């Protein structure tokens, strides 16, 4: 590993915490500065096992705060991996303000400070959602035009364009990765898979949006971490790398598999009012990173899901803690009316 000191932003969230742990186990000589504001989605408990490890330096701070970012960047940081973001589409529909602030302004502040301090690599962790929605066939490639449909994906696309412009204008050594839907341990239970596992474990209803036939391409979080590690080491500045699991599933299929693995009845499924502007299908062509960096997704979905379910079963106390306070307010706002009007029958199928 060419880099000694890495700044990971958002390292207390789902993917960030998995990445910090992954990198320190793969690269024992590495030092990681973890800058995280600890929003509702960030939790220092996610890295409890690293307590006392001198290679992990946690700084509580906001990526939009220039003074804090400058101070951290001044620690001799060689490379930045930017995970910090507001990440949930449904929340962005209720209020996009924090999305623009963190995802757009925050990325700009990081880019400026990284440039000023001569950082040698900047990896922007983006999403396949910037490409918009697909019909029943076809894949997103790195050349697919950006066509974001939600406030969340629009804010991520805006950040991608800033990163692109800093490379083009200043020759700043930045790279963008665009990954599909992740699942695995430590995912906040507002996202489909952990929400449905947590609800099913408590015999609570599983609110499927619309007809449940929307398609996502699922990837285990550790396969994503491996891809980012390779991009950091061998990716080329100015490039975009798509990352996907080659694992397309409808939400209904995922839901049925979760219920089956937990031995719970399908009667827990509720078809609820759809998400406005809901993207119908995502599917990633990841042949570029496979060809150029030798990466492959390794974790088969059923096996990864089984392991993830076991993790949530063994960490019910973690789920109970993160599901308190702010989460309850959000759950009411998002689901109370939907569940009151829900149906156990699938509504007529919707067009792409």
Sites of contact with ligand TYD (CB under 6 A) = 89, 129, 181, 191-192, 195, 207-209, 214, 216, 251, 275
The single residue among 3, 7, 8, 13 that binds ligand NAD, judged by CB under 6 A, is: 13
Q: Applying CB under 6 A, does 188 fall inside the site for ligand NAD?
A: yes
The single residue among 34, 107, 133, 181 that binds ligand NAD, judged by CB under 6 A, is: 181
Which residues ranging from 102 to 131 are in contact with ligand NAD (CB under 6 A)?
102, 106, 125, 127
Could you say which of ligand NAD, ligand TYD, none residue 192 binds, taking C-beta under 5 to 8 angstroms by partner kind?
A: ligand TYD
**CB distance 216 to 249 below 8 Å:** yes
The single residue among 7, 8, 12, 79 that binds ligand NAD, judged by CB under 6 A, is: 12
Sheet holding 215-220, edge to edge: 181-183, 215-220, 248-250
Give kind and range of the element (H or E) at residue 248.
Answer: strand 248-250
Tell me the closest approach of the beta carbon of residue 87 to ligand NAD, in angstroms. Answer: 4
Strand partners, 111: none
**CB distance 128 to 284 below 8 Å:** yes
Distances (CA, A) of 111 to 79, 116, 175: 11, 9, 12
Tell me the closest approach of the beta carbon of residue 223 to ligand NAD, in angstroms. Answer: 12
Q: What are phi and psi of 306, to 5 degrees?
A: -60, -45
Could you say which of ligand NAD, ligand TYD, none residue 132 binds, taking C-beta under 5 to 8 angstroms by partner kind?
A: none
Could you say which of ligand TYD, ligand NAD, none residue 80 binds, taking C-beta under 5 to 8 angstroms by partner kind?
A: none
Measured between alpha carbons, how far is 102 from 80 in angstroms, rounded to an integer? Answer: 16
Q: What are phi and psi of 175, to 5 degrees?
A: -135, 145
Which residues ranging from 245 to 264 are in contact with ligand NAD (CB under 6 A)?
none
Tokens 């800093």 sit on residue: 166
For 333: left if phi > 0, alpha if psi spans -120 to 50, otherwise beta; the answer is: alpha
Tell me the closest approach of the beta carbon of residue 192 to ligand TYD, in angstroms. Answer: 4
Tell me the closest approach of the beta carbon of residue 187 to ligand NAD, in angstroms. Answer: 7
Residues serving a catalytic function are 128-129, 152
Q: Which stretch binds ligand NAD (CB under 6 A): 5-13, 50-58, 284-292, 309-317?
A: 5-13
Q: Is 185 helix (H, G, I), strand (E, B) or coil?
A: coil
Q: Which stretch binds ligand NAD (CB under 6 A): 10-18, 69-77, 111-119, 248-256?
A: 10-18
Measured between alpha carbons, how far is 188 from 13 in angstroms, rounded to an integer? Answer: 8
Cβ distance to ligand NAD smaller for residue 38 or 262: 38
Q: Which stretch binds ligand NAD (CB under 6 A): 9-17, 25-33, 73-81, 109-117?
A: 9-17
Structure-block tokens of residue 83: 């995970």
Tell me the closest approach of the beta carbon of residue 33 to ligand NAD, in angstroms. Answer: 12
Cβ distance to ligand NAD smaller for residue 30 or 227: 227
For 246: left if phi > 0, alpha if psi spans -120 to 50, otherwise beta; the answer is: left
Measured between alpha carbons, how far is 214 from 194 in angstroms, rounded to an integer? Answer: 18
Question: How many other CB atoms are there within 10 angstroms of residue 40's CB atom?
Answer: 16
**CB distance 206 to 196 below 8 Å:** yes
Could you say which of ligand TYD, ligand NAD, none residue 130 binds, taking C-beta under 5 to 8 angstroms by partner kind?
A: none
Query: Which residues of this protein are in contact with ligand NAD, per CB under 6 A?
Result: 9-10, 12-16, 36-39, 41-42, 62-64, 83-87, 102, 106, 125, 127, 156, 179, 181-182, 188
């Amino acid at each position: 590993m060419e880099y000694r000191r890495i700044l990971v932003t958002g390292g207390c969230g789902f993917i960030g915490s998995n990445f910090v742990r992954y990198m320190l186990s793969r690269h024992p000589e590495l030092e990681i500065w973890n800058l995280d504001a600890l929003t509702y989605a960030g939790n220092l408990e996610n890295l409890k096992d690293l307590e006392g490890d001198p290679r992990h330096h946690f700084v509580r701070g906001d990526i939009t705060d220039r003074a804090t970012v400058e101070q951290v960047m001044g620690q001799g940081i060689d490379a930045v991996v930017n995970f910090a973001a507001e990440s949930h589409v449904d929340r962005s529909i209720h209020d996009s303000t924090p999305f623009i602030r963190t995802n757009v302004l925050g990325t700009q502040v990081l880019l400026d400070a990284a440039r000023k301090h001569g950082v040698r690599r900047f990896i922007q962790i983006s999403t396949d959602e910037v490409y918009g929605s697909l019909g029943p066939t076809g894949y997103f490639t790195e050349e697919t035009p950006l066509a974001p449909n939600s406030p969340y994906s629009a804010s991520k696309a805006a950040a991608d364009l800033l990163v692109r412009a800093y490379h083009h204008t200043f020759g700043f050594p930045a790279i963008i990765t665009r990954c599909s839907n992740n699942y695995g341990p430590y995912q906040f239970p507002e996202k489909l898979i952990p929400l449905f596992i947590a609800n099913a474990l408590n015999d609570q209803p599983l609110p499927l949006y619309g007809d449940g036939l929307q398609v996502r391409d699922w990837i285990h979080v550790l396969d994503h971490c491996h891809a980012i590690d390779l991009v950091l080491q061998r990716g080329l500045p100015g490039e975009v790398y798509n990352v996907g699991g080659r694992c397309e599933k409808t939400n209904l299929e995922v839901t049925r598999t979760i219920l089956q693995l937990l031995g719970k009845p399908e009667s827990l499924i509720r078809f609820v009012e759809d998400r406005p502007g809901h993207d119908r299908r995502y599917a990633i062509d990841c042949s570029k990173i496979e060809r150029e960096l030798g990466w492959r997704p390794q974790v088969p979905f059923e096996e990864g899901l089984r392991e993830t379910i076991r993790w949530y079963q063994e960490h019910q106390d973690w789920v109970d803690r993160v599901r308190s306070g702010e989460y309850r307010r959000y759950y009411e706002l998002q689901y109370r009316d939907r569940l009151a009007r829900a149906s156990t029958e699938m509504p007529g199928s919707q067009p792409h």
